[in-house]
């Protein structure tokens, strides 16, 4: 037993006591295996720092966006809501059978002049871009060349309301294209350029607008400029019905105002313009002429020549509250007229079917 134990001890000692060359070799192996681990740790540490930095940057970006959103909401809530002229005059307190959101409404038979529906139709209010119907009428009646090129200048930039436009200063379009964008998409710079380039200049053009209104018997109407951005452009629903009927006589105005959309080449870009009145695309509507309008002083406005239940009608809605309320009012009136016509027909049939 003693011998075995001694032999085991000797073997263990010999294993531990290595030769110098073997020790040196092992040290090299240790260094080789240790070096990659050191580099990897450094890489991991750097990667961790990058992740922390990116995470911190993302958090700062989100925090900044949140602060900006809160500040914007605070500014919007602090900004006073401008009442329309109709609201200030108390016109919205007037009740009507259909519960319209427009404080002014008028529906007239275009052929017989019969008033089918009315609400504050003689109230004189700002009419916003409904102005452009008269702008278009004056241009159309002047028989100016529609292919003449007109350049948008700094003078056409809105200083009244600060509204934006995709027609940059320097853009050159034909008079016909400007008419199209003005009537279909309510393009303010287009309408202003039409008045500015009228023979005799802007003052003569605005004077011609007012003269035309007087000649048509529009006693409640006055114009200060051709776009409708000024609240000094004012009229009544009764007068606007007269204007719509006259504008309907011009085929060009009918075509351009009811167009669904148009692509316009501006330099290297192609701009898509659409109609501001979505009802022109509805199969439930037969619209021969239309124009929308909005500024805060006027509320939402709409004038249309339509055919409902076999009758040609002029519809006018002024000072409507809510983005889509003028369209909702038009739908209510159309359905009411269709139901009324259906009921009248049933009554007529019952009367004619009675013997003797």
31 catalytically annotated: no
Find how far residue 321's CA is from the centre of its chain. Answer: 16
d(CA 191, CA 129): 10
Q: Are 240 and 130 in contact (CB under 8 A)?
A: yes
Inter-axis angle of helices 188-196 and 131-141, nearest 10: 40
Contacts of 152 (CB under 8 A, 6+ apart): 167, 168, 169, 170, 171, 172, 173, 189, 193
129 catalytically annotated: yes
The CA–CA distances, whole Å, from 181 to 73, 209, 212, 274 equal 33, 19, 22, 9
Select which of 102, 119, 132, 230 is catalytic: 132
d(CA 79, CA 72): 10
User: What DSSP string runs through 69-90?
Assistant: HHHHHHHHHHSPPPPPHHHHTT
Select which of 186, 230, 235, 257 is catalytic: 186
End-to-end CA distance of the chain: 146
d(CA 154, CA 7): 108
Find how far residue 248's CA is from the centre of its chain. Answer: 25
Select which of 129, 185, 230, 320 is catalytic: 129
d(CA 209, CA 188): 17
3 state SS of 300 = strand
Give backbone dihedrals phi and psi of 146, rounded to 5 degrees, phi first: -75, -15
95 catalytically annotated: no
Residues annotated as catalytic (active site), given as ranges = 129, 132, 186
């Amino acid at each position: 037993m003693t011998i075995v134990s001694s032999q085991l001890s000797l073997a263990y000692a010999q294993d531990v006591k290595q030769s110098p060359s073997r020790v040196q070799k092992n040290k090299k192996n240790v260094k080789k295996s240790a070096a990659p681990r050191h580099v990897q740790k450094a890489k991991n540490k750097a990667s961790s720092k990058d992740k922390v930095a990116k995470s911190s940057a993302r958090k700062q970006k989100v925090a900044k966006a949140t602060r900006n959103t809160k500040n914007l909401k605070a500014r919007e809530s602090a900004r006073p809501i401008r009442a329309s002229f109709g609201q200030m005059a108390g016109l919205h307190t007037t009740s009507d059978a259909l519960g319209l959101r427009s404080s002014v409404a008028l529906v007239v038979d275009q052929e017989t002049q019969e008033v089918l529906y009315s609400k504050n139709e003689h109230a004189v209010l700002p009419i916003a871009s409904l102005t452009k119907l008269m702008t278009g009428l004056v241009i159309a009646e002047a028989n100016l060349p529609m292919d003449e090129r007109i350049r948008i200048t700094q003078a056409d930039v809105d200083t009244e309301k600060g509204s934006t436009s995709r027609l940059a200063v320097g853009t050159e379009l034909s008079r016909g294209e400007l008419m199209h964008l003005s009537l279909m998409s309510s393009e303010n710079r287009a309408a202003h350029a039409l008045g500015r380039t009228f023979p005799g200049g802007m003052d003569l053009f605005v004077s011609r607008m007012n003269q035309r209104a007087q000649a048509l018997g529009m006693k409640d109407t006055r114009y200060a400029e051709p776009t409708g951005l000024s609240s000094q452009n004012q009229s009544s629903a009764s007068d606007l019905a007269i204007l719509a009927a006259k504008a309907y006589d011009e085929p060009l105005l009918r075509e351009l105002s009811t167009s669904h959309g148009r692509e316009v080449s501006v330099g290297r870009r192609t701009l898509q313009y659409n109609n501001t009145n979505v009802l022109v695309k509805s199969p439930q509507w037969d619209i021969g002429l239309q124009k929308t309008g909005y500024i805060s002083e006027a509320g939402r406005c709409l004038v249309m020549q339509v055919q409902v239940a076999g009758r040609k009608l002029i519809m006018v809605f002024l000072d409507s509250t809510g983005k889509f309320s003028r369209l909702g009012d038009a739908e209510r009136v159309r359905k009411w007229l269709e139901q009324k016509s259906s009921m009248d027909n049933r009554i007529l049939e019952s009367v004619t079917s009675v013997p003797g």
